[in-house]
């Protein structure tokens, strides 16, 4: 079997989350010839990727146009037919993967979190649907290349090789007369600890009742060295900035500890937080569905509980 993985790497640091792709490929078939086409990133690390054929396209221009990347991939695909083309979830892949699939008439399944396979002709792909409230099992008739995009934090990371191996440099194919051009790229810096990076996130919902509750949540976040999140109900009530929104229409996070206060557990919210390692929930309603996703649950008035929790944490630290 032949698999191609297309990686869009950060210029500054190597992100080992791409190593999940290789254990995913091994779970499809552990006798796979793996080709990796890297766009950007640290070549030294990338030359240690556990692959058979490794290619690298320099992407140091921040205004790289998707049209040029697509052209480069199309030309690359002229040389070889693969059983699978595999992407991970990021800005470029979210654009490139569906376009490649429809341009080449290959079936496409995004956000895969699990697979079941007896043989390469019979593979079932599992992906979340309806926010995170349900899952769907998908299959494809295997007479063609299949384009897949896998979810982060769903597969083991395969280790890097100990030694650097050969990596072949390719040039970006630049298309003249593009339908759009990127004039400038702006990076915005957010204040405080970023939601995406925080190991601990404390989040408030409708049950918090107002801005004051979020002030207390910020104090709790400071003690725990965490970040503050919110459900859509809280953001819509303007108790907190939209940049703090966790959920289908906001941030998708996977902290080690996620504590919810006054959040009921709509699929809209779970989409953004159900990948958290440990969820603790505080709600006055003992039947709130968020408890079904939690490791620990507390039935209590959340504002009172936040204050008691802050007080007790101060005593123990």
Partner 1 sequence: MKICVCIKEVPDSDVPINKLQIDSENLKVLPIENISSIINGFDLNAVELALRFSESIQNSSVSIISVGNDLSSDVIKKPIAMGADEIITCDDKKNINIDVHGTALILSKLIKKTGPYDIIFSGRHASDFDMATVPFALSEMLSIPILNIVKNIKKEKEKILLERIITDGYQLIESNLPLIITAGNQVGDPRYPTLKGIMEASKKKIINFTLDQLDLSIKDIETKVNLEKVYFPENQNNVEMIEGTDSKEKAIKLISKLKESRII
The alpha carbons of the chain give a radius of gyration, in whole angstroms, of: 22
What is the distance between the alpha carbons of residues 217 and 299, in angstroms, rounded to a whole number?
18
Measured from the CB atom, the residue of 75 and 313 that comes closer to partner 1 is 313
Measured from the CB atom, the residue of 30 and 180 that comes closer to partner 1 is 180
Measured from the CB atom, the residue of 192 and 242 that comes closer to partner 1 is 242
| Residues present in the chain in total | 317
Q: How far is the CB of 162 from partner 1 (least distance, A)?
A: 30
Contact between 113 and 128 (Cβ < 8 Å): yes
Q: 36: buried, middle or exposed (CB in 10 Å: 19+, 13-18, 0-12)? A: buried
Measured from the CB atom, the residue of 47 and 275 that comes closer to partner 1 is 275
Q: How far is the CB of 257 from partner 1 (least distance, A)?
A: 5
Q: How far is the CB of 234 from partner 1 (least distance, A)?
A: 13
Q: How far is the CB of 269 from partner 1 (least distance, A)?
A: 9
Residue partners of 212: CB distance under 8 A and separation at least 6:
none
Measured from the CB atom, the residue of 4 and 100 that comes closer to partner 1 is 100
Strand pairing class (114-119; 122-129): antiparallel
Contact between 20 and 160 (Cβ < 8 Å): no
User: Roughly how many angstroms between the first and final C-alpha of the chain, as a whole number?
Assistant: 55
Q: Which residue has the tokens 């944490």?
A: 313
Contact between 89 and 107 (Cβ < 8 Å): no
Measured from the CB atom, the residue of 176 and 180 that comes closer to partner 1 is 180
Tokens of 283: 């709600």
Q: How far is the CB of 152 from partner 1 (least distance, A)?
A: 13
Cα angle: 151, vertex 139, 135; to 5 degrees: 50
Measured from the CB atom, the residue of 32 and 101 that comes closer to partner 1 is 101
Q: How far is the CB of 18 from partner 1 (least distance, A)?
A: 15
To 10 degrees, what angle do helices 211-224 and 302-316 make?
20
Q: How far is the CB of 304 from partner 1 (least distance, A)?
A: 5
């Amino acid at each position: 079997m032949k698999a191609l993985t297309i990686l869009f790497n950060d210029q500054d640091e190597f992100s080992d989350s791409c190593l999940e792709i290789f254990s995913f490929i091994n779970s499809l078939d552990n006798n796979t010839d793996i080709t990796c086409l890297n766009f950007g990133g640290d070549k030294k690390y990338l030359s240690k990727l556990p692959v058979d054929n490794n290619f690298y396209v320099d992407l140091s221009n921040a205004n790289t146009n998707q049209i040029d990347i697509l052209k480069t991939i199309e030309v690359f695909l002229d040389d070889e037919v693969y059983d699978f083309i595999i992407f991970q979830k990021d800005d470029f892949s979210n654009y490139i993967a569906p376009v490649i699939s429809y341009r080449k008439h290959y079936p496409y399944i995004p956000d895969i979190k699990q697979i079941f396979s007896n043989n390469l002709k019979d593979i079932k792909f599992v992906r979340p649907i309806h926010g995170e409230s349900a899952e769907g099992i998908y299959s494809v008739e295997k007479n063609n290349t299949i384009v897949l995009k896998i979810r982060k934090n769903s597969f083991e990371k395969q280790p890097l090789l100990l030694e650097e191996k050969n990596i072949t440099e390719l040039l970006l194919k630049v298309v003249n007369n593009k339908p759009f051009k990127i004039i400038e790229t702006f990076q915005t810096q957010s204040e405080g600890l970023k939601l995406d990076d925080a190991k601990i996130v404390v989040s408030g919902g409708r049950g918090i009742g107002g801005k004051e509750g979020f002030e207390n949540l910020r104090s709790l976040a400071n003690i725990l060295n965490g970040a503050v999140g919110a459900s859509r109900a809280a953001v819509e009530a303007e108790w907190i900035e939209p940049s703090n929104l966790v959920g289908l229409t906001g941030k998708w996070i996977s902290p080690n500890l996620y504590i919810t206060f006054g959040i009921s557990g709509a699929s809209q919210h779970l989409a953004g937080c159900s990948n958290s390692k440990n969820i603790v929930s505080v709600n006055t309603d003992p039947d709130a569905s968020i408890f079904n996703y939690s490791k620990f649950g507390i039935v209590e008035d959340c504002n009172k509980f936040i204050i008691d929790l802050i007080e007790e944490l101060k005593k123990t630290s």
